[in-house]
Amino acid sequence: MSGRLLQLMACMAFVGASGFAGAEAAPYLAAGELRLTDYLASPPADAATQAEDRRAVLDAQRRRTPEQEARARRDDVWRDAVFSFGQGILPDGFEAGRLPLTQRCFSRAQDDLVQTLLPAKKQYGRPRPYEQDTLLRPLLPPPVGDAYPSGHAMFGYLAATLLGMAVPERRDALFARAREHAASRVIAGVHYPSDLAAGQVAAAALAARLMATPAAVAGFAAMQAELRVNGLAGANNEEEQP
């Protein structure tokens, strides 16, 4: 039996003992454990930056192509979004039905994202672009919550961070995908560029806290082992054992 398979079995046993079988995914972090407002500046208040933000959204609206519009609609997905996020970057087989430990890890991480994001959105209370300017017409149905920070940008950078740690040979492509994923929110007319920048900072804060949380570290290890045993991460990514 290969070392990678033994590692996967050990991780599955650990996660199973923690309530994997038949249990609903729950956040890794306690509610209120991470306050994004401790890490973020307030939304831009000066007229020049606000005008630059508005101009960027208006320019994106004028220039967006049918291909960009289609991508923005695809990137609007939330449930199991990591699998559409990784398509074309990770090898064939990166699918929800084949990777239950990866699905669970990201489901819990997304729950953490939501429970840390929404209080920040509420505190900052920044309106969406189309709520401030009738010339701006969104492609998508009105999203939940205020604009700042962007939850979809936060998710994309969180996914790039966690997947990049698990599959480091794809890290650059994953972060390029995160930038594209975030930009689709401006193209769709539902965010300003400064919302995306705040989402990137928020993702870094959440990723750091998750990797300091034992349950999240165990979930990540199980995901990484599952990716390796399914041939989705290179064997050369394993750390050398003493």
Q: What is the pTM of this model?
A: 0.89
Report the CATH number that the domain containing residue 137 is assigned in CATH: 1.20.144.10
Mean pLDDT by groups of 10 residues along the chain of 242 residues:
50 48 73 98 96 98 97 95 97 95 98 98 98 95 95 99 98 98 98 98 99 98 97 62 34
- Predicted pLDDT at 10: 47
What pLDDT, on a 0 to 100 scale, did the predictor assign at position 24?
A: 58
CA distance 139 to 86: 23
Does residue 95 lie within any of the structural domains? yes
Domain that holds residue 87: 3-20+47-233
Q: Is residue 172 part of a domain?
A: yes
Query: Is residue 32 in a domain?
Result: no
Report how far apart, in Å, the C-alpha atoms of 46 and of each of 51, 53, 73, 119, 189 are: 9, 11, 31, 24, 21
Provide the number of structural domains found in the chain.
1
Q: What is the pLDDT of residue 241?
A: 34
Assess if residue 180 is contained within a domain: yes
Residue 56 lies in a domain: yes
| Residue 145: predicted pLDDT | 92
| CA nearest to 223, candidates 241, 210, 240 | 210
pLDDT value for 7? 52
According to the model, what pLDDT value does residue 25 have? Answer: 72
